[in-house]
Chain A
Amino acid sequence: MSLIATLARLEAVETGRAAPLATVRHRHLSERPLVLVPLTTSGEAGAPLGALVGTDREAPRLLVVPQPRDRELRFAFLAELADAVLPHLDAYADEVEAAERNETDPETGKKVKVEVELCADAPQIVVPGRAAIDFVRLLGRSMRFRRTAEQDPDTPHPAPPRVPLLGRWLTHYGERARVPGSALLLAATDLLGRHWATGQSSLEDQHLGALLAWIDPPEGASGAEAALRAELARDGDGQLLCPPAGPATDPAFDNKLLAPAIDRYDRARQALYAAQDGEAADARLGDLTRAEQEIRRLVGEQLRPTWEAVWQSLDLLRELPGAPRTADRWTRDRWSFTAHRDRVRAGEPPQPRRDDAVTAAAKLASRETAQAQLEAQEALDDPLVMAGRRLAGEAFAGEVVDVVMAWSESKRPSPRPLVTVRTDDAPHLAERAKVFRSLDGKPQSAEFVGYQADGALVLRLLDKMGRSKDPAPGSVPEKGDRVCWTLFEHDQRGGPRLPDPEATPWTHGGPPGTDAEHPDPLTPEDLL
């Protein structure tokens, strides 16, 4: 944790309210995000219990699995989820704009510009917390290898038509969420934690209710009291007033309310199967429906507070003005969405279970680039974030006290003016370290020359001054200007091109096998 984040937490403890960590919003928020609040069955990894999903805060769609151990009912849930999510994704797939992409011509090997489609906007999914992102990934993993009856008439348990497709999309969203600064799939706790520091530990911040209590406590209560209440307060029946944001449920809910309700449902179903004649069946169907309605009510009650909390989080974040450079990162998300749309349309197989060596290396490289870029962009967008970097010795702001013209020693001398800066910051400048400032949105670099006797820094400007002997107007700071310099680069160079997967070298096991991935074979242990 950075020093400034520690200070913000201390301040939060002292005032009893969360302290801001940012003055602008550092993540893109869609006009119409799809909010998804999933619940899972305890003790049954990958068996969903229910979900609230939708784009309309007032009209969420409630999906419930009355008996999570029943495969048919789980499939029905997933089909319904596909029905709720896929139209939202499809709505963005056809609104495109023309864009250009650099591609290597396979024949000449030269870089050529290719006209391609780029989706004008991309669908955004917001879930309550990181555990829900993991659950989205798990759902994706469990669905994308399923086969429908249409794909394979012999498959023993065919999945409903659109379920494998939903699995591929959820896998893509789950994987994209691992890219720093991406916004296709966001967790409300991460969003809030980026913008506010609370007086509790970052582990406790994973509780959406407690986190919101610190940021926006009810009238008259301190954040700490409200957070404690959100975590612990129970009603007369021993149920939490603020149920956990999921996907895991509270054991008291499982034991006291859910388990008996599922038992009643099971008994009603058995009774229905055992019915001798039509009249008895009608009556027992009524019992079954009532039992199912009861489970739906219980699950809905668990989900509703979290649903509200996610929307409240979005409201709080929308009060902050969007940071300018989020648009750039959102464009990358749109590229990501468009690329997956194209892969699906081209009939490519689902994402493999494991990345091959080249794909893994490429993903890690792009995520490291994204991480460095995110850190730089957040600092450039937000003086409060930059203050944290200054405090850490990674940037400094100061007044220009002197500018002396100088030129490089070459046949065509270029301007290399010496700029003296007085600052109260304490940057960790090594000998001849490079520093950067933002000049009309582009980074201008300078070299650290040394300290003057009074502690002022001397920098030599290196670029962005035009081609002539004298620097272009406005490209050199003037005496009296206040300038902020960073020790980190503003843009990130991409890494080297990796070999094609078919050319994986012997050190990494050679080319991967070409067999298509098959779903896990069914074994006697597969009870679900």
Chain B
Amino acid sequence: MTVAERGFDPGAAAAEATGRILHDTLHGQARGVVVDSPPGAGKSTLVVRAALELAAAGRPLMVVAQTNAQVDDLVVRLAEKEPDLPVGRLHSSDADPYDKSLDDLPNVRKSSKAGDLAGLDVVLSTAAKWAHVKDVEPWGHAIVDEAYQMRSDALLAVAGLFERALFVGDPGQLDPFAIADSGQWAGLSYDPSASAVTTLLAHNPELPQHRLPVSWRLPASAAPLVSDAFYPYTPFRSGTDHGDRRLSFGVPSDGSAPDGALDEAAEAGWALLELPARHTPRTDPEAVRAVAQVVRRLLDRGGAATSERSPDPVPLTAARIAVGTAHRDQAAAVRAALSELGVTGVAVDTANRLQGREFDVTVVLHPLSGRPDATAFHLETGRLCVLASRHRHACIVVCRAGVTDLLDEHPSTEPVQLGVTVKFPDGWEANHAVLTHLGEHRVVWRP
């Protein structure tokens, strides 16, 4: 599937979808509208636009996001688009509850009490903070952002605050989780540990559902793989074509394996740097060092990214690179290895924390690398999907050989719960799909 099929105009397709969503939101009869958005499909842009149109129509609006960073980001985007709009930022009473840059925005009022923000056109906060708001006049409309990452019980706590709502989110990313066992409620339509959208649709199956059809982030080399592997029944395309984006290096390869992987990634958009098979501790020192060296070389070789955003190549700086891991201790080990090599400013984090972020190049330590077993945690579809869909140009995966065999030895054995919708694809299949594709861009590690 290539993008430039005759007759497909990504801009027009996206605009048409957005138009339908806004129409249902503003003029529809349903109490809720659900929008599925693949990675980088302009979810935040849609939220900002819907918020502005609802505000312009004189509908009091509350916005529910999941983290403080997401709320602050939306506030800044709203203020950029419409500096005169009266916006309220409801925050917690902890120290430093919001980003200091909000203090420079004249029309953004900030308070830890919902009463202080009454009457403002748009009030934004996290689901956790909204849950504590009591005894206020309900809002006519709400936008729930990242609704697939919100738990059903969090929606239960805030749903009394609004009459109607637009739910926006990415179904392919990590599901919410509970730290206590919630098995006894599995299969109930309101299982508190399920995602908010699952519960919402179980009780209101007639709600209109839309999806955004174009990923503006993922390059033409990545969209087909991510779409096939993680969204087999709701395919999407990239907004750019092959050749629209280019990654180049000022310094030629020194012949080492990391440089080979970089060249392959620049050419194909993907590279698999494969270390010899071995069972290792989670913080596999060799793999961690390989990740750090790839990042070091990425910076040393004077990478430059050409894209539709600007006609001239933009230097690839540390801020445009991310390293993704499955576990926090792996991220810590990579950070330590990077600082040994004198690299600073590169975002190194787990899949959970990289959700919603965008970079030019990502380096991923494969969740199954070096493992003797494949647990449900490591097989989770969302984890791999997040790691494989953060990049605008290229993604380099560092992994030990033998993961395919590992997968074959560990078919998923989770108990089947009655009444639970089976999620497709399962992590096992998605992992195989990604590995098969990566296998075509394999560079074998030479010490």
Selected from A363, A426, A428, A498, the residue in CB contact (under 8 A) with B156 is A498
A-B contacts besides A360-B185, A368-B178, 8 pairs, CB < 8 Å = A180-B180, A361-B153, A367-B181, A393-B329, A432-B96, A496-B128, A508-B199, A509-B190
**Other-chain contact of A508, B31, B155, B329 (Cβ < 8 Å):** B155
Question: Considering the complex, which residues of chain B in the window 176-216 have a beta carbon less than 8 Å from any beta carbon of chain A?
Answer: 178-182, 184-185, 188-193, 196, 199-200, 202-204
Q: How far in angstroms is the closest Cβ of chain B from A45?
A: 16
A361-375 vs B, Cβ < 8 Å mask (1 yes, 0 no) = 101110110111000
Cross-chain pairs A/B with CB under 8 angstroms, 7 sampled: A178-B184, A360-B191, A368-B179, A496-B132, A498-B157, A507-B204, A509-B190
Asked whether A507 lies within 8 Å of B199 as measured between CB atoms, the reply is yes
The reply on A220 being an interface residue by CB < 8 A is: no
Within 8 Å of chain A (Cβ to Cβ): is B152? yes
B434 at interface, CB cutoff 8 A? no
B180 engages A508 (CB within 8 Å): no
Cα separation A86 to B153 with both chains bound (whole Å)? 36
Contacts of B153 in A (CB 8 A): 360-361, 364-365, 498
The residue on A at minimum CB distance from B201 is A507
Looking across the interface, which residue of chain A has its beta carbon closest to that of B31? A506
The answer to whether the Cβ of A491 comes within 8 Å of any Cβ in the partner chain is no
Q: Which residue of A lies closest to B132 (CB)?
A: A496
- How would residues 486 to 510 of chain A score, 1 for a CB under 8 Å from any chain B CB and 0 otherwise? 0000000001111100011111111
Q: Do residues A371 and B204 form an inter-chain contact, with CB atoms below 8 A?
A: no
Q: Are B152 and A508 in contact (CB under 8 A)?
A: yes
* Residue of B with least CB distance to A504: B156
Give the top 9 A-B pairs by smallest Cβ distance, nearest first.
A505-B159, A496-B131, A361-B153, A367-B180, A357-B190, A509-B203, A361-B192, A507-B159, A364-B192
B157 contacts A496, C-beta separation under 8 Å: yes
> Does A518 make an interface contact (CB < 8 A)?
no
1/0 contact trace for A349-391 toward B, CB 8 Å? 0000011111011011101101110000000000000000000
Q: What is the bound-complex CA distance between A426 and B339, given in angstroms?
A: 15
Question: What's the minimum C-beta distance from B362 to chain A, rounded to whole angstroms?
Answer: 20
Q: Which residues of A contact B155 (CB under 8 A)?
A: 507-508
Q: Please give the number of chain B residues whose Cβ is less than 8 angstroms from any Cβ of chain A in the complex.
A: 37
Residues in A whose Cβ lies below 8 Å from that of B199:
507-508
Which of B31, B178, B179, B204 has the most CB atoms of chain A within a 10 A radius of its CB? B179
Residue A449, interface by CB 8 Å: no
Interface range for A: 35 or more
Report if A371-B188 is in contact (Cβ < 8 Å); known contacts: A506-B31, A508-B203: no
**Cβ-defined contact, B185 with A355, below 8 A:** yes
Q: Which residues of B are found within 8 Å of A510, using beta-carbon distances? A: 203
Tell me whether B132 and A508 are in contact (CB under 8 A): no
B134 touches A364 (CB 8 A): no
Quick one: which of A402-436 are within 8 Å of B by CB?
Answer: 426, 428, 432
B-side residues, CB < 8 A to A, are 31-32, 95-96, 128, 131-132, 134, 152-153, 155-157, 159-160, 178-182, 184-185, 188-193, 196, 199-200, 202-204, 328-329, 332
Residue of B nearest to A363 (CB): B192
CB distance from B58 to the nearest CB of A (A): 23
Contact A364 B190 (CB under 8 A): no
Contact between chains at A506 and B180 (CB < 8 Å): no
Given contacts A368-B179, A507-B204, whether A358 and B156 have CB atoms under 8 Å apart is yes
- Interface presence of A392 (CB below 8 A): yes
Taking the closest CB of chain B, its distance from the CB of A517, in whole angstroms, is 15
Are B160 and A499 within 8 A (Cβ)? Answer: yes
Contacts of A357 in B (CB 8 A): 156, 190, 192
Report the minimal beta-carbon distance from A353 to chain B, rounded to whole angstroms: 11
Say yes or no: A364 contacts B178, CB within 8 Å: yes
A460 nearest CB across to chain B (Å) = 11
Chain A: CB-nearest residue to B167: A507
Among the interface residues A361, A367, A393, A507, which one has the most CB atoms of the partner chain B within 10 A? Answer: A507
What residues of chain A lie closer than 8 Å to B200, measured between beta carbons? 507
Cβ–Cβ contact B180 & A364, under 8 A: yes
Q: Which residues of A contact B32 (CB under 8 A)?
A: 507
> In the complex, what's the smallest C-beta–C-beta distance from A6 to chain B, in angstroms?
9
Which residues of the other chain, B, contact A428 by a CB distance below 8 angstroms? 328-329, 332
Within the assembled complex, what's the spacing in Å between the Cα atoms of A178 and B328?
28
Asked if A506 and B159 sit within 8 Å, CB to CB, the answer is: yes
A356 to B182, CA, bound (A): 14
- In the complex, what residues of B have CB within 8 A of residue A509's CB? 189-190, 202-203
Closest approach, in angstroms, between the C-beta of A409 and any C-beta of chain B?
Answer: 13
The answer to whether A364 touches B157, judged by C-beta atoms less than 8 angstroms apart, is no
Chain B residues, Cβ within 8 Å of A178: 181, 184
Identify which of A356, A393, A432, A497 contacts B332 (C-beta below 8 A).
A393
Please, how many angstroms separate the alpha-carbon atoms of A498 and B190 in the complex? 14
Residues of chain A within 8 A (CB-CB) of B181 are 178, 367
User: How far, in whole Å, are A368 and B153 apart by their CA atoms in the complex?
Assistant: 12
Task: Select from chain A the residue with minimum beta-carbon distance to B163.
Answer: A506
Name the residue on A nearest B193 (C-beta). A364
In the complex, which residues of chain A have a beta carbon less than 8 angstroms from the beta carbon of B159? 505-508
The answer to whether A364 touches B204, judged by C-beta atoms less than 8 angstroms apart, is no
A360 to B190 CA separation, bound complex (whole angstroms): 8
Q: Determine whether the beta carbon of A495 is less than 8 Å from that of B131.
A: yes
A260 to chain B, nearest CB (A): 36
The residue in chain A whose Cβ has the minimal distance to the Cβ of B134 is: A497
Q: Which residues of A contact B332 (CB under 8 A)?
A: 393, 426, 428
B160 with A368: CB separation less than 8 A: no
Inter-chain contacts of A358 with B (CB < 8 A):
156
Chain A contacts for B160, CB-based, 8 A: 499, 503, 505
Give CA–CA (A368, B178) in the complex, Å.
7
- Smallest CB–CB gap between B184 and chain A, Å? 7
Q: Which residues of A contact B152 (CB under 8 A)?
A: 361, 508
Please name the residue on chain B nearest to A374 by beta carbon: B180
What 0/1 readout, one digit per residue, does chain A (462-498) give for beta carbons within 8 Å of chain B? 1000000000000000000000000000000001111
With a cutoff of 8 Å between Cβ atoms, the chain A residues found around residue B203 in the complex are 506-510
Across-interface contacts of B180 in A (CB, < 8 A): 180, 364, 367-368, 370-371
Point out the residues of chain B lying under 8 angstroms from A503, CB to CB: 160
Residue of A nearest to B162 (CB): A505
A361 touches B178 (CB 8 A): no
Closest B residue to A364 using CB positions: B192
Taking CB atoms, residues of chain B closer than 8 Å to A354 are: 188
Q: Are A364 and B156 in contact (CB under 8 A)?
A: no
A502 to chain B, nearest CB (A): 12
A364 and B185 contacting across the interface, CB-CB below 8 Å = yes
CB-based nearest B residue for A498: B157
Contact of A505 among B95, B132, B156 (CB under 8 A): B156
Docked CA distance A467–B383 (Å): 47
Chain B residues closer than 8 Å to A508, beta-carbon distance: 152, 155-156, 159, 190, 199, 203
Q: Which residues of B contact A355 (CB under 8 A)?
A: 185, 188
Q: In whole angstroms, how far apart are the Cα atoms of A365 and B180 in the complex?
A: 9
- B351 → chain A closest CB, angstroms: 16
Closest to B180 in A: A367
Q: Which residues of the other chain, B, contact A365 by a CB distance below 8 angstroms? A: 153, 192
A507 cross-chain contacts in B, Cβ below 8 A: 32, 155-156, 159, 196, 199-200, 203-204
The distance from the CB of B342 to the nearest CB of chain A, in whole angstroms, is: 16
With both chains docked as a complex, state the minimum distance between the C-beta of A429 and any C-beta of chain B, in angstroms.
Answer: 9
In contact, B157 and A371 (Cβ under 8 angstroms): no
What separation, in Å, do the CA atoms of A505 and B155 have in the docked complex? 9
Q: In chain A, what residue has the closest Cβ to B155? A: A507
Chain B residues closer than 8 Å to A497, beta-carbon distance: 134
Q: From A428, which residue of chain B is reached at the shortest CB distance? A: B332
CB distance from A22 to the nearest CB of B (A): 21
Residues A110-159 near B (CB distance < 8 A) = none
Q: Give the complex CA separation of A426 and B333 in angstroms.
A: 10
A356 CA / B189 CA spacing, docked (Å) = 10
Looking across the interface, which residue of chain B has its beta carbon closest to that of A392? B329
List A244-282 residues whose CB lies under 8 Å from chain B: none
